[in-house]
Structure 1
Amino acid sequence: MTLPLSADEVLSTTRAVRKRLDLTRPVPRRLIEECVDLATQAPTGRNRQRWHFLVVTDKDRRAAVAEVYRRAVRVAEAAPLSSRDLQRMNAHGSWPRIAAGVDYLYQHIHQVPAFVIPAVEGRTDRASVAEQAGTWGSILPAVWSFMLAARARGLGTVWTTAQAPLERDLARVLGVPYDQVMLAAFIPLAFTLGTNFRPAQRVPRDQVLHWDSW
C-alpha cells in the first residue's frame, strides 16, 4: 500500500531519515522487492545496467555489518573538512540537528531492520572522469528511484557513505568480490515513525542556478 502523495510531494519530502526509523517493525520482503522493481526502471548511463542491490535482514549478518559501519564512521569522522563543506553544513543552523541524527543512527544501527547496499560492477578508484560519470550516472538514478519508492510506501532511508573507509571489510562480510564490484553506498531502511515529512530548507535557487553561463 502506498501513501496518498503526489509525485511532487514524494520528490520534496523524501528526507534523510535517521532518528525517525522504526527499529521495532520488520520490513516485508515484498515491499523491498517492489522498490527494487521500480529502481530497475531508472535511466541507466550508457544503457549498461551493471548495478545490484544487496539487502541484509538476517540478524547475525546485520550485527556484523553494523560493526563494520561503526568502525567506518569513526574513521570518517577523523577526516578534515573544507571551509566550503563547513559553510554548507551549517546553512540554516541545521548541522546540530543533523549531527544528533548521525549520532543516534550510530548508536542504534544494529537495530535497523534492513540495510540496502547498492553496488556496481567495475571500480572507479583510478578511472577517468568519463568512466566515473558513466558508472555513477547509472547507479545514482537507480538508488534515488529506490528511495523515492520507499518513501511512497512509508519507509525511510538515508544515503550514507559510511562504508567507504572500510569498503573492503564490508565486502568481505557480504561475500562481495571487492576487485570487481564497488559498494556505492550504505542505506538503512525501516518504516518511519509517522509519515508527515515536509520540504527542507535548502540553499536559495539563485545560489545554484546558472543560465547560459556560469
Structure 2
Amino acid sequence: MALLDLTPDQLLTTTRSVRKRLDLTRPVPLALVKECIEIALQAPSGSNRQTWHWMVVTDTARRAEIGRYYQRAVRTYLASEGTCGSLFPEDPERHAVQQRVGDSVAYLGDHLGDVPVLVIPCLDANEAPEYNEAGKWGSIIQAAWSYMLAARARRLGTAWTTLHLMYEKEIAELLGLPSGVDQAALIPTAYSLGTEFRPAARQPLEQVLHLDTW
C-alpha cells in the first residue's frame, strides 16, 4: 500500500484520535498491523531495555468482550464529575470542543468491540526499572505513538485510550497475559473514513514555554 503523501510535520500534527471515523466494516490486514509494530520497535527505550510486548486482538469474541468492558468504563467516566463537556465552562470555545470529544468518546464506547483490530501495548514490569517510572512507562508510550504515526501514514485511524484499565485484571485474564505484564493503553485500529485531518487547537506556545527559568 502506498503511503500518504505527508511531510514529517504534517504527519506529526495531523495524527488525531479517530473514533467516529473508524471504518468498522473493512478488514485490516494483519500484515499491515505488523508493519506498523515493526516501525514502533525502533522507538527509543530507557537503557535500551525494550521491555515491550504487543497484544493484537482480532478474534471476534474477544474483541466483543473487551468492548463490553470498555463500554462500562466509558459510561462510568462520562458520568463522573469534571470530564469532557463539563470542563472549561468559562471558555465557550474549549467547552464546545470538549463536548464534541465527549460525544466521540461515547461513540467509541458503544462500538469498540466492532473495531477490526485492537492493539494493546504492554510492558514487562519484571524487566523494567522500579526506581524510574518515567523510564518504565516512557519507553512503551513512545513506541505506541510511533505505532499510531505509522498507522496514520498507511490510512489507518487509531485512538489512544486507557479507560479499559478500569478492568485491567479481567482483560488480562481474558487474553492470558502473564503476571507482571502491564497494559499501557488500548489502541483501536481500523481504516479511517477519509484521510484528511487537521491540526488541533492547542494553547499558544507563549503560555507553556519557559526559557532558562520558570
Give TM-score, length-normalised by structure 1.
0.90
Which of 108, 111, 119 is the aligned partner of 1:108? 111
The answer to whether the 8 A contact 1:75-1:165 is kept is no
Aligned partner letter, 2:211: W
> Residue 190 of structure 2 aligns to a residue in which SS?
strand
- Structure 1: runs of 5 or more not aligned: none
TM-superposition CA deviations, 1:143-164 (whole Å, max 9, x none): 0100000000000011011122
The answer to whether the 8 A contact 1:117-1:184 is kept is yes
> Residue 213 of structure 2 aligns to a residue in which SS?
coil
> Residue 111 of structure 2 aligns to a residue in which SS?
helix
Aligned partner letter, 1:183: Q
> Residue 52 of structure 1 aligns to a residue in which SS?
strand
> Residue 55 of structure 1 aligns to a residue in which SS?
strand
Structure 1 residue 86: deviation in Å?
2.9
How far apart, in 2, do the equivalents of 1:81 and 1:101 lie?
17
- Aligned counterparts, 1:32-181, within 5 A: 32-81=33-82, 86-87=87-88, 91=94, 93-122=96-125, 130-177=131-178, 179-181=179-181
Aligned partner letter, 1:101: S
The answer to whether the 8 A contact 1:76-1:165 is kept is no
How far apart, in 2, do the equivalents of 1:182 and 1:79 lie?
25
How far apart, in 1, do the equivalents of 2:187 and 2:207 lie?
29
**Structure 2 residue 187 is matched with structure 1 residue 187:** yes
The answer to whether the 8 A contact 2:74-2:106 is kept is no
* Identity between Structure 1 and Structure 2 (%): 51
Aligned length: 207
The answer to whether the 8 A contact 1:160-1:187 is kept is yes
Aligned partner letter, 2:203: V
Structure 1 residue 75: deviation in Å?
3.5
4+ aligned runs moved over 6 Å, structure 1: none
Structure 1 residue 55: deviation in Å?
0.7
> Residue 71 of structure 1 aligns to a residue in which SS?
helix
Structure 1 residue 199: deviation in Å?
0.8
Structure 1 residue 78: deviation in Å?
4.7
How far apart, in 1, do the equivalents of 2:94 and 2:76 lie?
25
How far apart, in 2, do the equivalents of 1:32 and 1:93 lie?
34
Aligned partner letter, 1:107: D
The answer to whether the 8 A contact 1:91-1:203 is kept is no
Structure 1 residue 11: deviation in Å?
0.3
The equivalent of 1:199 in structure 2 is 199
Give TM-score, length-normalised by structure 2.
0.90
- Structure 2: runs of 5 or more not aligned: none
